[in-house]
Every structure is written in structure tokens, then in C-alpha cells.
Amino acid sequence: MTVQTRADHSGHTANEANHKHRVQFLIAGDESALPELEAVLTTLPLCATGRVFVEVADEDAVGVLSAPPRMTVTWLPRSRRSGAPGTGRGCAPGEAASRAVRAWAGEMLCEHPEEVHVWLGGHYRGVAESHDYLTTGLGVAADVVQTPPAYRLGAVR
């Protein structure tokens, strides 16, 4: 057995981090999928990086989630958000989570859409819009985007 005593850092300099092939995790859902979302978080490695978006009805539903230290959790109360611009209506179920997923993914996955694992749960509208944006808009492989089986989105599992 050969023990390697020195890490290979030939691909980057001492002043830059080697983040070129770090897989990001994107977890998003609403209050109806909170138990499943919490279960997914327990399966992530301690070194996982990425975002968690949780859409809830209002601030009273905001809670505490146990997530790996490098995962950022953002609560999205619908009561504080508007619906589609110019409509004057409130934020519909799934809308806040979908917006957050699209904004994060549009910024963070533009160069390497293959380096992500996604879990989407909750209201069909938010899951379907997010799934379509990720797979069609950004080119994320459907087999790395987990959605509720009943929604029949993406790859056959």
C-alpha cells in the first residue's frame, strides 16, 4: 500500500482555492415538504456546500434547520412577497421557492451546470418551474434533479 504524503496542487496557485470541481447542493421546498427536506439535509456530507430555500406562509412558520455548516439556509415567507410583477396579487404557493432557485442557479451554475445535485419538493408549480429552468434553461442533467415521483418530471427513476 502506498501512502501519498503530499496533495497535488499543481492545478492552482497558493493564493487561490481549488473550487473547480466542487459539487454544489441545491435544496428547495415549501412547508408541505418540510419533513422530506429535513431528511434530505441529514443525508448530506458534513462538507456539503450550497443553498437551502424553504418557502413558508409567513414569518411565524420560520424555524431552525440542521444543515451542514457550508450550506446557507434561507426562509422565504410568502406573506412578505408579491406575486407576478404588475398584478397586485400575493405570492402564490411555490412562487417564492421557484424565484429563489432560478436566481441562485442562474448565478452559481452558469459555467458548470454539471456540478450540482438538486432536491425539489413542495407545491407542483414551484417544483415544475424550477425543474424546467434547471434542465432546459441551464442544461442541468435531469438525473441529478430529484422531484416528487408523482410529478413525473425529468428522468425516469
What CATH number is attached to the domain comprising 102? 3.40.50.80
CA distance 121 to 108: 20
Q: Is residue 20 part of a domain?
A: no
Q: Is residue 9 part of a domain?
A: no
Q: Is residue 61 part of a domain?
A: yes
pTM (2 d.p.) = 0.81
Q: Is residue 15 part of a domain?
A: no
Q: Is residue 10 part of a domain?
A: no
Q: Is residue 7 part of a domain?
A: no
**pLDDT digit string, tens, across residues 87-120:** 778 888 999 999 999 999 999 887 777 789 999 9
**pLDDT digit string, tens, across residues 44-84:** 999 999 999 999 999 999 999 999 999 999 999 998 887 77
DSSP annotation string for 80-112: GSBSSTTS-PBPPTTHHHHHHHHHHHHHHSSS-
Residue 155 · residue 142 · CB < 8 Å: yes
Q: Is residue 22 part of a domain?
A: no
Q: Is residue 11 part of a domain?
A: no
Number of structural domains the chain divides into = 1
CA distance 145 to 106: 15
Segment of 10-14, 76-80, 152-156 carrying the highest mean pLDDT: 76-80
Domain that holds residue 137: 30-148
